[in-house]
């Protein structure tokens, strides 16, 4: 952890100590205690990756300012360092917490309907670029920028054979028949459990976004297709009561989740298990 204290000092933060924080898959992260006794959360990269932290900070601001979602305050951002307000962990035994998260996410999606899919700049999903090129056609955009974009990645090429890749292409061609038309809304873009924390006041807060204007159901799919604590049992019911979901949404969740499965393969994160899940989804095609 020597690198993180050095970069904090270079940015004007004199840390008395830095405790490593587990869970990140890209950056070196830690909770730093400063000379005045206050704490900050900071993360860095061994090899700086151009605008990764700048994009992350902008995404946090967009979620907060455009969608009213709680996110950590950005205290400093440079090419090789991001310093944030520290947040407490969520309480997985608190049903009200998950209901508040459902309301916050429904509010985000309801308040940010746009006219095009994408974002004004490309972003990052993990260590790899996220192509956010604007497009008015949601089905074409999702196929090209969120599914087929992963096929040239070396680990995806190695995991899926020619027939499976062709099945993915046929699935993408059929998306207009599989996914109902819906407006683009601002989405977090990487809404798995590790990116959900608590705000200082106790409600839900979101971290590590990969924002873009996409379909609301794409955000929901990451929570639907991942294990959730029992206290989250009413999450989707509360969301749908505020922002109604078209019939059949449960059956559509795996289609949206293809992006996450392909990204995980590309990052060598549970690649074998994710490849099996992809094969199951594309089998009818």
95-152: per-residue pLDDT in tens? 999 999 999 999 999 999 999 999 999 999 998 999 999 999 999 999 999 999 999 9
Per-residue pLDDT, averaged over 70-91, amounts to: 94
Alpha-helix residue ranges (DSSP H) falling in the chain = 3-10, 52-67, 95-111, 138-141, 154-159, 162-173, 175-178, 216-224, 235-242, 249-266, 271-282
For residue 63, pLDDT beyond 90: yes
pLDDT of residue 47: 77
Mean pLDDT (the chain) is 95
146-172: per-residue pLDDT in tens? 999 999 999 999 999 999 999 999 999
Can you tell me the distance from the alpha carbon of 246 to that of 226, in angstroms, rounded to the nearest whole number?
A: 21
Nearest to 257 by CA among 180, 142, 157, 114: 142
Binning the chain into helix, strand and coil, the percentages to the nearest 5 are: 45, 15, 40
Can you tell me the distance from the alpha carbon of 157 to that of 213, in angstroms, rounded to the nearest whole number?
A: 28
Can you tell me the distance from the alpha carbon of 190 to that of 194, in angstroms, rounded to the nearest whole number?
A: 10
Q: How confident is the model at residue 48 (pLDDT cuts 50, 70, 90)?
A: low
Radius of gyration over alpha carbons of the chain, in Å? 19
Per the model's pLDDT, the better-predicted residue between 80 and 276 turns out to be 276
Per-residue pLDDT, averaged over 178-184, amounts to: 97
Which secondary structure element, helix H or strand E, spans residue 128, and what is its range? Answer: strand 128-130
Is the Cα torsion angle 24, 59, 121, 186 positive or negative in sign? positive
Q: How confident is the model at residue 91 (pLDDT cuts 50, 70, 90)?
A: confident
239-280: per-residue pLDDT in tens? 999 999 999 999 999 999 999 999 999 999 899 999 999 999
For residue 14, pLDDT beyond 80: yes
Per the model's pLDDT, the better-predicted residue between 226 and 71 turns out to be 71
Percent of the chain with pLDDT over 70: 98
pLDDT of residue 181: 95
The pTM assigned to this predicted structure is 0.95
For residue 175, pLDDT beyond 70: yes
How far lies 92's CA from each of 26, 89, 117, 143, in Å? 25, 9, 33, 34
φ, ψ of residue 93 in degrees (nearest 5): -100, 10
pLDDT of residue 23: 59
Please name each of the domains of the chain with its CATH number: 2-84 (3.30.200.20), 95-283 (3.90.1200.10)
């Amino acid at each position: 952890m020597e690198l993180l204290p050095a970069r904090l000092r270079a940015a004007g933060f004199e840390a008395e100590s830095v405790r490593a924080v587990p869970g990140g898959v890209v950056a070196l992260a830690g909770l730093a205690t400063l000379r005045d006794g206050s704490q900050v959360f900071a993360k860095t990269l061994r090899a700086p990756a151009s605008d990764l932290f700048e994009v992350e900070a902008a995404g946090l601001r967009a979620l907060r300012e455009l969608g009213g979602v709680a996110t950590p305050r950005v205290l400093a951002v440079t090419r090789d360092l991001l310093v944030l307000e520290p947040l407490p962990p969520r309480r997985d035994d608190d049903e009200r917490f998950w209901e508040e998260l459902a309301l916050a996410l429904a509010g985000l999606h309801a308040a940010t309907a746009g006219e095009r899919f994408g974002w004004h700049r490309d972003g990052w999903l993990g260590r790899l670029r996220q192509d956010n090129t604007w497009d008015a056609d949601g089905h074409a955009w999702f196929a090209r920028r969120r599914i087929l974009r992963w096929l040239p990645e070396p680990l995806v090429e190695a995991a899926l054979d020619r027939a499976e890749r062709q099945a993915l292409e046929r699935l993408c061609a059929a998306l207009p028949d599989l996914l109902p038309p819906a407006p683009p809304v601002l989405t977090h873009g990487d809404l798995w459990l590790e990116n959900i924390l608590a705000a200082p006041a106790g409600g839900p807060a979101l971290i590590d976004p990969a924002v873009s204007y996409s379909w609301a159901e794409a955000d929901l799919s990451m929570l639907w297709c991942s294990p959730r604590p029992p206290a989250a049992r009413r999450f989707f019911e509360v969301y749908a009561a505020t922002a109604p979901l078209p019939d059949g949404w449960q059956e559509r969740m795996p289609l949206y989740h293809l992006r996450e499965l392909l990204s995980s393969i590309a990052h060598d994160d549970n690649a074998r298990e994710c490849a099996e899940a992809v094969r199951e989804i594309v089998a009818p095609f």
